[in-house]
Structure 1
Amino acid sequence: MHDGIRRFVVIWAAQLLSIIGSSLTGFVLGVWVYQRNGSATEFVLIMLCAVLPEVLLSPLAGSLADRWDRRRMLMVADAGAAAVTGALALLLVLGSPEVWHVYVITVAGAVFGTFHMAAYHAMMPLIMPQRHLGRANGLMQVADSVKIAAPLLAGTLLVTVGVTGVVVIDLVTFLVTRVVMFAVRLPREVTRPGAAAAPEPLRGDLLFGWRHLRARRGLFQLVVVLAAYNLFFGMSGVLVQPLILSFGSAAVLGALMFAGGAGVFAGGLVLSAWGGPRRRVRGVAVFVALGGALLALHSLAPSPWLIAVVAPAFLFTLPFVQGTGMTVLQVKTDPAALGRVLSTVRALTQTATVLTYLAAGPLADRVFEPMLAPGGALSGTLGAVIGTGEGRGIAAIFLITGLCLVLLAPLAYLQPRLRKVESELPDAEDVHAPAEPAAGRGEAGPGTDVAHVAQGDSDAALSRP
């Protein structure tokens, strides 16, 4: 086995364990707040506290990931997150914490998590040989299945070991991750690929990722597609639990959430074994359209059997959209700029997620649910197709967002810069590839960075009509 592949798998497995612990803690804290006050608004506020720091701090985190040693940055971020979790454990031991304590802890954990993700996502593509990046992103997407399926395991642990026990498990996973990151040896070109170059002033560096993407129209359009995908998919993702509870019990909800997680897990495994389509942009468009059709099918009937089929099928497509799109961005981005560029991508796509959190509830409760109630404005038209009554307004949102994804796919593929981005933009340097002999560098000369020369040619090509 290639050393890079071995390192990737070891680090990925340790990080997956940490994600499991953090997902369990996040879920039980939400349950604790909801059980204490019965407020859906406070429950949603926890989700916003977990996402907003990433939107606001990702550019700074990405800049630091390209300036500092990425492994050390990851380990420091993990230590900070562990300290936050330890503070939560102490509050639980000393007495019942207040709700505002949970908000502060969630924000603090999300801040450290933002810096962790910036270092992690900048480093991991360089550990794996470039030809295997599609498979690597398949494994990275497997983590999403853990987040979706966490409620089932967390519910069991909540009954057996309580909130304090779940937090202790989370602390143990932090310890394991830190030991693994300390033990695995990583080459300098992975942890500090741009150390030889003088960094830009920090203030200007914060906008580097934005300027980089804007100068490469095809990559920018790909990020817009991924953000739109997050917006439409996220709208339904936030509302899937209320949809299921409108016709099923809590036990049915748990079983269907687990089935959905299994769909993501299977999709990630298939992507990791296959590596993804050869023509990646076309593959993203195909899976966006397929996923949109499956999302729209959620609306056909208030049936757990329908959801049991279409939800895992839809979530199976998710890794192929997000993982394949991420592979294109990684392949086309210089290793020294991965932190800034990928953090900007995360900020943009997570902004769409925040908009989803803010809009989903009001759209369901104040617009579509009343319109699809018996005698509502849409009861005789759309209601004749998907039914009327409790949950049918949410089903209408599934139908609309699914159709929007079906429409998004061809609109994206019709953009020439996006469709041709894989051929117009040169691939970034593969840190695992053997160095080219000086004679093979043509007119660039022995002291010139070939990747930067190729990138300049690419920018000139993009400026032509």
Structure 2
Amino acid sequence: MIWAAKNMIKYNTHVRMRVFILIWFGQLVSLIGSSLTGFALDIWVYQRTGSITQFTLVTISSALPLIVISPLAGVLVDRWNRRWVMILSDSGAALSTLAIALLITTNRIEIWHIYLATAISSTFNALHFPAYTAAITLLVPKQHLSRASGMMQLAGSATKLISPVLGGVLLGIIRIEEIILLDFATFFVSLMTLFLVRFPEINTVKTDDTKQVGRSSLLQDITSGWTYITAREGLLGLLIFMVSNNFFFNIFNVLFTPFVLSKTSTNVLGIIVSIGGIGSIASSLLISTWGGSQQLIYSLFGFQLLGGLCILFMGLYTSIPLLTLSIFLFSFGLPIIYGSNQVIWQRKVPPDLQGRTFAVRSMIGSLFRLLAYLVSGLLVEKIFQPLMMDNNPIAVSIGKIIGTGTQAGMSLIFIVVGCCTMLTTIAAYQYQPLRLVEDKLPDVIPTSKTSL
């Protein structure tokens, strides 16, 4: 009987992982298609308008719905069937993509159509992210969550590496509306995989929190994700820590391209970015096969510290070989950071609260990402570049190391961002509820039935 029970568990684990891999593949294909469209539309908007402001508005129209809609989206994810939420979100994004292709084909496209379609697609993505992430907890056994997270990071890393190269090639061969229609076709791959499977039923272990918010008003449900986080010092500390360092990372990301272009050509920039992408893919593959550290919080701390150190070195030492090595190490750490963070949340939040809780994370993260985009240019142009002019006392001292002038202003902000990242990480390590979050906060383990 014991032997039969063990075989049944192994069979169920195999089936659930197979279902996850099928869904992951469909989402990967769709993600590549969406990234191709995003890349092509960004170029189309900039070439048509020649305006940096118009170009930036595309990013803002994508970020704002995530901030506004996420709280409600999280409630709907927890109330509805997560597979159908993913189907709905993919279908809505596909239709908005198709509408843009038709407008371009009929020569009726206006810039505001791009903003509107981006906002609509982003609204459906606000549903998709918490549904997909929470569904993984249902599909993947606890011992394989790190591998599943590695596969998700792999999908993102591969997309960032493939889409710009493939998009550039396709734009030289076919028209933009044909690229968008190709994206529309990739949605069918995603939808087909979702229609082919069923998610397992889970008997969730009910905590006092889930009992209190299980059936309540819509307003209570919207705030319940935040209430769950704030009631646990470790999770609240993790949220604040990740949002703070992601704010610094996003400032770095915004300024990295102009920083490198101030020192070298676009061809060299492309090589450096590609090497960074290889670092992310290598790290994601490592997690997918190895499964990650047993103490995820220490992996998170270690690679956040490494990331800050890499940014600091890029500000201090501007030679191309050191820049390339630094971006490789920085990119190598990102999947481990985000994967470790994600698995901790999946283990510590009950499945019937994950939609709301993950939506809160998404909303706050999107808000600070948008803030980083908005302040990055102002910080460089209004504060750091003036500080590094020849007649400034700060430029006289620090300029002996990093030089002076416009380029030195970006070097200085990299130094500041790198130091802030490391100091935040050191401070977070000193906060015991966060450092011991994996030990002190019990795992919330769903009990799966024997069939899908």
Pair in the same fold by TM > 0.5: yes
Within-5 A mapping of 1:366-385: 366-385=382-401
Partner Cα distance (1:189, 1:243) in 2:
49
1:362 maps to 2:378 = yes
Classify 1:146/1:45 alpha carbon distance in 2 versus 1 (closer, same or farther; 3 Å). Answer: farther
Partner Cα distance (2:394, 2:34) in 1:
42
- On the 8 A contact 1:243/1:391 being kept in 2, the answer is yes
1:161 maps to 2:137 = no
Counterpart selection for 2:154 from 132, 142, 146: 142
Q: Which has the higher contact order (CA 8 A, sep 6+)?
A: 2
Letter in 2 for 1:187: P
Q: Deviations over 1:99-156 (max 9, x none)?
A: 1111111111111111111211111122110111111111111233145323222222
Partner Cα distance (1:252, 1:99) in 2:
32
- C-alpha RMSD over aligned residues: 2.2
1:47 maps to 2:63 = no
Partner Cα distance (1:205, 1:400) in 2:
40
Partner Cα distance (1:412, 1:419) in 2:
7
Partner Cα distance (1:223, 1:320) in 2:
16
Task: Report the Cα offset of residue 26 of structure 1.
Answer: 1.0
Task: Report the Cα offset of residue 370 of structure 1.
Answer: 2.8
- 2:141 is aligned to 129
Counterpart selection for 1:295 from 287, 303, 311: 311
- 2:293 is aligned to 277
Classify 1:287/1:190 alpha carbon distance in 2 versus 1 (closer, same or farther; 3 Å). Answer: farther
Within-5 A mapping of 1:429-440: 429-432=445-448
Counterpart selection for 2:193 from 177, 180, 188: 180
Secondary structure (helix, strand or coil) at the match of 1:207 reads helix
Partner Cα distance (2:438, 2:53) in 1:
44
Partner Cα distance (2:270, 2:154) in 1:
19
- 1:347 is aligned to 363
Partner Cα distance (2:399, 2:177) in 1:
46
- 1:458 is aligned to none
Classify 1:159/1:374 alpha carbon distance in 2 versus 1 (closer, same or farther; 3 Å). Answer: farther
1:247 maps to 2:263 = yes
- On the 8 A contact 2:67/2:363 being kept in 1, the answer is yes
- On the 8 A contact 2:203/2:446 being kept in 1, the answer is no
Secondary structure (helix, strand or coil) at the match of 1:6 reads helix
Letter in 2 for 1:183: L
Q: Judge which range, 251-260 or 112-121, deviates more.
A: 251-260
- 1:336 is aligned to 352
Q: Deviations over 1:297-347 (max 9, x none)?
A: 111344333222111210110111111011111101111111111111111
- On the 8 A contact 2:200/2:448 being kept in 1, the answer is no
Q: Deviations over 1:219-263 (max 9, x none)?
A: 110011110121011110111111111122222222222222222
* Number of aligned residue pairs: 433
- On the 8 A contact 2:282/2:332 being kept in 1, the answer is yes
Classify 1:305/1:96 alpha carbon distance in 2 versus 1 (closer, same or farther; 3 Å). Answer: farther
Percent identical? 37
- On the 8 A contact 1:242/1:391 being kept in 2, the answer is no
Q: Gaps spanning 5+ residues in structure 1: where?
A: 435-465
Within-5 A mapping of 1:313-332: 313-332=329-348
Letter in 1 for 2:220: G
- On the 8 A contact 1:152/1:254 being kept in 2, the answer is no
Counterpart selection for 1:110 from 98, 122, 126: 122
